[in-house]
Structure 1
Amino acid sequence: MDGDMTAPAGEAICEALLAAAKSAGAQSADAIAISGESLSADVRGARLEQAERAEGVDVGLRVLIGRRQATVSASDARPATIAALAERAVAMARVAPEDPWCGLADPGQLAASWDVAALDMLDPAGPPDPAALEDAARAAEAAALAVKGVTQAEGAGAAWSRRRIHLAASNGFSGGYARTTSSLYVSAIAGEGLGMERDHRAESRRRWASLPSAEEIGREAGERAVARLNPRRAPTGAWPVIYDRRIASSLMGHLLGAANGASVARGGSWAADLLGERVLPAGMDLVEEPLRPGAAASRPFDAEGLPVSERAFVRDGVLTSWVLDLASGRQLGMESTGNAMRGASSTPSPGTSNVRLTPGALSLEEMLAQVGTGLLVTSMIGASINATTGDYSRGASGFWIENGALAYPVNEITVAGNLKRMLAGLTAANDGDETKSAVVPSLLVEGLTVAGG
């Protein structure tokens, strides 16, 4: 089931961690082993700036004694380290405060089978030659510099990695999987002196051969930087704002964050009273797709060994479910939605994988024409978001829209509103990027407050 011939090493590490935990006095435990290897090459000024090859392993152990738990981790899987980790974890758990919601899954809740191969998470070609990484980074930088108006490249890089994850627990669960990621990026600078502007393009895929060409990535990075030259301030007032698809998924991230069961259980979510209520326009679904083949965040089971499946957290505009792991589900009197996430040094917590928002009928160009006058946001910095009220304020830059077309670049602006009202009145374009984990199209929000500085 692991889908990777080296997976038994992770399985053996987890078994050793569980055995050590039992010997040290744990009543129950789970363990995770994350190993990986990576290659990267960074180029600046057509010269290789850095090349790196790395391998490593991180292990994590959670032990439970009654309703007390503790988690420890290390970047070392030697037997002596495993024994010391288990002893430390048990000692910590004995003095930890009681948590009435912690605990492993019941055996009947566990994923019984899965098909890793169907998720298409591995590059069958294996790692690219390091020289190919360097050549791609150099070609991307050259393509950016070839764009008229680009004065320098801030850097370009290519990378490949393979990550293996194995999870096992004393309730009988044991499973693992591996995924590869290839990426290529370039950052370009246009203009001179105080008038310089920068932008970038970065792409990642499961397979190296599936990446867009270095020339395409470099050219678009350069064109984006040049388009930002000579920015102005946007007129202050209440205007329609279009979130370009590059950053539109951030709005869905705010919604899913508010629907996070841990936040709801703590009483720290602006959506705490919205279960079963409309949060998006009618006809709009927000669906998690953890089994989408080839996607960046696909996985065959969650971090507590529970099965995963497609789930609409919003159906026809209505919030249908919280995002739950076992602990938050118990606290709220609900079943886990199979959304536990975990790293080596942390206990499980709720989180989502790949998501998809229902697209609209308009292209971005048609949406610009419909807006007439307003703002297209292409990048954002900082955030001031009140988790309890949903009040929202972020720094932004992009382009001012006049007569239904892009008129001039703008920067140093702030957009503000309230997430409840913003999300309920969204209009979606039809330009979602199928290569991204979050397939979210450009989104129009009416009547945001724009402060032009």
Structure 2
Amino acid sequence: MSYEPDPDRGIREQLLRLARAAGAEAADVVAMRAQTLDVSVRKGALEDAARAESFGVGLRVFKGKRQAYGSSADTSPEGLQRLAEQVSAMCGAVPEDPFTRLAEPAEMARGWIIPDLYDAAPALSVAQLGDLARAAEDAALAQSGITNSDGAGAGQSVHWIGLSTSTGFSGGYAHGGTHVSLGVIAGKGDGMETDHASAQATYATDLEKPESVGLRAATRTLARLGARPGKTGAFPVVFDRRIAASLLRTLSRAISGPRQAKGTSFWQERIGTAVCASAITVIDDPLKPRGLRSVPFDAESLPVARRAMVENGVLNGLYLDLRSAGRLGLTPSGHASRGLSSPPGPNPSNLWIAAGTVTRDDMIAGIDEGFLVTELMGASISLSTGDYSRGASGFWIRGGKVVHPVAEMTIAGNLKDMFLNMVPADDLEFRDG
């Protein structure tokens, strides 16, 4: 796959000029380009190989306190002219928003560092990706008790993202990635169980060995055999690290600026107060080298930085774009992201809970009776009240030991209490799947 950090600057600048000529008082343009190659195998045979390329531009136009936006994959001169005229005309028909704006020059990122996001090694071929998928599948199928494969896949991609604004910002970067995944089946008939595993990395050399991914999928699947319902009652719950990320997603939504501005968060106006147990520190780092969600600047041209969103249990700040920061009277946090046909909105980058001091085994050993959750299904979560209810499966704990798999369980509580009583384990790993 070819590499150029900002191949579409000329098109973005051209579209900005066309937007101004069509009546825009201010504008920004985002360009997104992608090259992907994916293969899938099942029982060693190549089932599919797909190469795809895509490119599009998104235009946002401002007239006074009105904004409108649109996108197009037609980047011919005629296509860009049409997009500029259409979005500019739309802008006159939308209501005013006193908080919509572009970043001022003094707010923009300058001299940014791209956090090692592109793997310059030669791209993997269809055959090489097929070998990765087969290695994962072979390792899983070699485990006694694994009876079938749901298939395995591997792929590589490069995404180019560029942003230009009429207030003087222009920048772009490329972000690459390699991934492998599979699902396998254990047992037969009504006793069949299935599970999966995956891994991805910005650099192919950092990717977890496919054999390890396959073994993890097999181990997970075999452990589910013989699952039965557990007890009903109030018990300690241990979240396996593979699904603990779902709690972080919920946390990030609760401290989203737009939600806070609407007054619909269970952590309303809690900056500077304890919202989690004192052992909890939550880090967001958009500059993590080779991070899966790393960026050198945000989607509104603002600088980005590592932040402790929660530190020793205390909420330090919110996820804020320019608009939500204006509504709340706060400073934007540099977390804006966007698609081609949508306005910016705040989102987390590389987000994790800092490792604790208690091992997973010691945590389980201290539980007389409880539930180790390894999978969550469905969701009934109220971000306004914190009420939480999800289907779950995993393993029952008795006498400090995992004794048998359980399924068809529901865990319920309130997120405010859950976060205040949470204990982090020491098994932090930066791995997907």
Unmatched segments (≥5 aa) in structure 1 = 438-453
1:202 deviation in Å? Answer: 0.3
1:21 deviation in Å? Answer: 0.7
CA contact (8 A) 2:338 2:344 kept: yes
CA contact (8 A) 1:295 1:435 kept: no
1:436 deviation in Å? Answer: 5.1
Q: Which residue of 2 aligns with 1:363?
A: 359
State whether structure 2 residue 106 is matched by structure 1 residue 125. Answer: no
Q: Distance in 2 between matches of 1:296 and 1:74?
A: 27
Q: Which residue of 1 aligns with 2:14?
A: 16
1:8 deviation in Å? Answer: 4.2
Q: Which residue of 1 aligns with 2:38?
A: 40
* Match for residue 25 of structure 1 among 11, 23, 26: 23
1:284 deviation in Å? Answer: 2.5
Q: Which residue of 2 aligns with 1:236?
A: 232
Q: Which residue of 2 aligns with 1:134?
A: 130
CA contact (8 A) 1:29 1:62 kept: yes
Q: Which residue of 2 aligns with 1:403?
A: 399
Q: Distance in 2 between matches of 1:353 and 1:221?
A: 27
Which SS does the other structure have where 2:317 is aligned? coil
Q: Distance in 2 between matches of 1:126 and 1:90?
A: 43
Please give the residue correspondences for 1:297-312 in structure 2 after superposition, counting only pairs within 5 Å: 297-312=293-308
What code does the residue aligned with 2:213 have?
Answer: I
CA contact (8 A) 1:295 1:436 kept: no
Q: Distance in 1 between matches of 2:177 and 2:426?
A: 27
Q: Which residue of 2 aligns with 1:276?
A: 272
State whether structure 2 residue 379 is matched by structure 1 residue 383. Answer: yes
What code does the residue aligned with 2:232 have?
Answer: T
Q: Percent identity?
A: 43
Q: Distance in 2 between matches of 1:233 and 1:316?
A: 36
**CA RMSD, Structure 1 to Structure 2 (Å):** 1.3
Which SS does the other structure have where 2:208 is aligned? coil
1:6 deviation in Å? Answer: 2.3
Deviation per CA, 1:95-146: give whole Å up to 9, x if none.
0111111010111100111121xx1111121311221001111221121111
What code does the residue aligned with 1:368 have?
Answer: I
1:5 deviation in Å? Answer: 5.0
Please give the residue correspondences for 1:207-222 in structure 2 after superposition, counting only pairs within 5 Å: 207-222=203-218
1:205 deviation in Å? Answer: 0.5
State whether structure 2 residue 280 is matched by structure 1 residue 251. Answer: no
Which SS does the other structure have where 1:416 is aligned? strand
State whether structure 2 residue 259 is matched by structure 1 residue 263. Answer: yes
1:182 deviation in Å? Answer: 0.1
State whether structure 2 residue 340 is matched by structure 1 residue 344. Answer: yes
Which SS does the other structure have where 2:234 is aligned? strand
Between stretches 60-69 and 132-141, larger displacement belongs to: 132-141
Which SS does the other structure have where 1:275 is aligned? coil
Q: Which residue of 1 aligns with 2:58?
A: 60
CA contact (8 A) 2:31 2:58 kept: yes
Q: Distance in 1 between matches of 2:68 and 2:158?
A: 29
State whether structure 2 residue 400 is matched by structure 1 residue 417. Answer: no
Q: Distance in 1 between matches of 2:432 and 2:43?
A: 30
Which SS does the other structure have where 1:18 is aligned? helix
Unmatched segments (≥5 aa) in structure 2 = none
CA contact (8 A) 1:109 1:306 kept: yes
Q: Which residue of 1 aligns with 2:193?
A: 197
Q: Distance in 2 between matches of 1:77 and 1:146?
A: 50
Q: Distance in 2 between matches of 1:397 and 1:78?
A: 52
1:186 deviation in Å? Answer: 0.8
CA contact (8 A) 1:291 1:299 kept: yes
Q: Distance in 2 between matches of 1:412 and 1:5?
A: 48
Q: Distance in 2 between matches of 1:114 and 1:357?
A: 26
Q: Distance in 2 between matches of 1:49 and 1:170?
A: 47
What code does the residue aligned with 2:15 have?
Answer: L
1:348 deviation in Å? Answer: 0.4
Q: Distance in 2 between matches of 1:106 and 1:152?
A: 58
Q: Which residue of 1 aligns with 2:113?
A: 115
1:206 deviation in Å? Answer: 0.9
Q: Distance in 1 between matches of 2:16 and 2:199?
A: 39
State whether structure 2 residue 239 is matched by structure 1 residue 223. Answer: no
State whether structure 2 residue 330 is matched by structure 1 residue 330. Answer: no
CA contact (8 A) 2:155 2:180 kept: yes
CA contact (8 A) 2:163 2:171 kept: yes
What code does the residue aligned with 1:367 have?
Answer: M
What code does the residue aligned with 2:416 have?
Answer: K
Deviation per CA, 1:230-273: give whole Å up to 9, x if none.
10101000000000000112112211111000001112111113
Please give the residue correspondences for 1:287-302 in structure 2 after superposition, counting only pairs within 5 Å: 287-302=283-298
Q: Distance in 2 between matches of 1:429 and 1:43?
A: 36
Q: Distance in 2 between matches of 1:154 and 1:101?
A: 49
What code does the residue aligned with 2:339 have?
Answer: G
Which SS does the other structure have where 2:243 is aligned? coil
Q: Which residue of 2 aligns with 1:450?
A: none
What code does the residue aligned with 2:106 have?
Answer: G
CA contact (8 A) 1:296 1:436 kept: no
What code does the residue aligned with 2:248 have?
Answer: M
What code does the residue aligned with 1:360 have?
Answer: G
